Amino acid sequence: MGEGRLVYSSLDGYNMGMLMLAACIVLSWMFIPIWNQRNKKGPKTWPLVGAAIEQFMNYDRMHDWLVKYLSESKTVVVPMPFTTYTYIADPANVEYVLKTNFANYPKGEVYQSYMEVLLGGGIFNADGELWRKQRKTASFEFASKNLRDFSTVVFREYSLKLSAILSEASFQNQEVDMQELLMRMTLDSICKVGFGVEIGTLAPNLPDNRFAKAFDTANIIVTLRFIDPLWKIKKFLNVGSEALLDKSMKIIDDFTYSVIRRRKAEIEEARATGKNIKAKHDILSRFIELSEASESNSTDKYLRDVVLNFVIAGRDTTATTLSWAIYMIMTHADVYNKLYSELKSFEEDQAKEENVSLLQYDTEDLESFSRRVKQFAGLLNYDSLGRLYYLHAVITETLRLYPAVPQDPKGVLEDDVLPDGTKVKAGGMVTYVPYSMGRMEYNWGPDAASFKPERWLNDGFFHNASPFKFTAFQAGPRICLGKDSAYLQMKMALAILCRFYRYSLVPGHPVKYRMMTILSMANGLKLTIARRS
């Protein structure tokens, strides 16, 4: 993520956009009577530029900027130069948009134009029949026991690799950037599950990886497109941020297409030689097999879009959630103590159930400590992790306050009226805001701002809330298919990381979010690590 700062500083689009806004303001002062209106349901608006001035001024803290307005009104209308955004935090409105009148609120052409270069026609950027086709196939695959079992093995393997790095850092008294390590872990994991390849970014020497860097750069730039009115001009001229995006996408596509061609060649060679190759359970192999079985002759571009969408969804979202979870656990001692007690009790009960004698270990001896961590990891599987209700609640409470996707815009096909009476116009955008929704007292009560995993438990067992109130995984027809897989990886990692390590924030290290499509930490999460028995 370090390249993000370089990318941001090199992006001329932000500054050029600000200059254009300034020019518009001057023109409005010269030719139109000065008008400064405080919307009843939103920020100050001006002629020509709408609320863009205030939005630009608050860009780096936009999520909290919206919290302020949505705490005063459940719906906030924000006029912009070329469209109008309607932000919603009321579960009734959210249900209407995501389910009741789902057909009227697609991704839409505006959103698709921003994200097409990265997401292509993949499931997270598609509408209509293309979306339905991918959704049906993906739904079947995610329900597959083979994929679930394969993912469990992969998630355990890479959680242990991360544990080994943390263990070494603790012995050497080294600081670590936990978010960077988690990004590496989830990228390696999702590339193994998605492509069936080992890219090795979590190797002990933490090597640079061109694909990972290009991936981060592309994510930052497509997010900035939402506020850069000149991005299409720069794309046409291939200058500035769009030139950098073009270079990044070439790296991403070269890697992706090379893996697709290699996998197809392996399949063809096996057929030609009559060899029985071991069935692969990664998503790419499954989609190749399915396309051949249905004689749909899917193109490499289709396969690229399918797999990259799952890599994008499974990498950053999981890593950022784990980063915020560790931060919340380490800053709430009562939560950490309860979680540690649950993990210790689980370990003892699971060992008895499997008739396993727990190894003795010395936290000052690296070899015995590592053996003990591996033994504990061996007790973790899909079924046993399901018994860790407090751990599940900790992750869910983290997602309530720090959702991986903090806001999600939808297009408006036809003029409509939301349940609270707000009128929306065709061509505008309606955005539900999980970050704000989790902080609203009208949704969660007077303790809405508090980190309280117990709110999810009833007699010690986990209980869900309505997906239209807890929207971290979206809701309705587009509800996240990878929800169970995400919980599986997060619980696997946190169970190991919180059973054997204690964390302390490096003094003076600032923790705040970066404005991207995903709620990542702007400066990483710099920690020191201590082992525990």
Binding positions for heme? 480
Of residues 241, 398, 237, the one with CA closest to residue 324: 398
Which residues sit in the known binding site? 480
DSSP one-letter string for 300-359: HHHHHHHHHHHHHHHHHHHHHHHHHHHHHHHT-HHHHHHHHHHHHHHHHHHHHHTT-PPP
Single-letter code of the amino acid located at 329: I
The owner of tokens 């939103």 is: 42
Q: How far is 104 from 99, CA to CA, in rounded Å?
A: 10
Coil/strand/helix, residue 505? strand
Kindly give the residue spans of alpha helices, DSSP state H, lying in 84-209. 91-95, 108-119, 128-142, 145-172, 178-194
Q: How far is 288 from 259, CA to CA, in rounded Å?
A: 12
Q: How far is 311 from 313, CA to CA, in rounded Å?
A: 5
**CB-CB contact of 373 with 350 (8 Å):** no
**CB-CB contact of 284 with 156 (8 Å):** no
Of residues 420, 411, 516, 436, the one with CA closest to residue 83: 411
**CB-CB contact of 307 with 282 (8 Å):** no
Q: How far is 352 from 507, CA to CA, in rounded Å?
A: 41
**CB-CB contact of 435 with 519 (8 Å):** yes
**CB-CB contact of 443 with 469 (8 Å):** yes
Q: How far is 499 from 340, CA to CA, in rounded Å?
A: 6
Coil/strand/helix, residue 521? strand
282 backbone dihedrals φ, ψ, rounded to 5°: -70, 160
Q: How far is 233 from 227, CA to CA, in rounded Å?
A: 14
Using only the alpha carbons of the chain, give its radius of gyration: 24
Of residues 312, 295, 365, the one with CA closest to residue 517: 312
**Strands 423-424 and 37-38, bridge-based pairing:** unpaired
Of residues 334, 323, 371, the one with CA closest to residue 493: 323
- CA dihedral angle for residue 191, residue 192, residue 195, residue 199, rounded to 10 degrees: 60
Q: How far is 427 from 109, CA to CA, in rounded Å?
A: 9
**CB-CB contact of 516 with 220 (8 Å):** yes
Q: How far is 410 from 429, CA to CA, in rounded Å?
A: 5
**CB-CB contact of 326 with 503 (8 Å):** yes
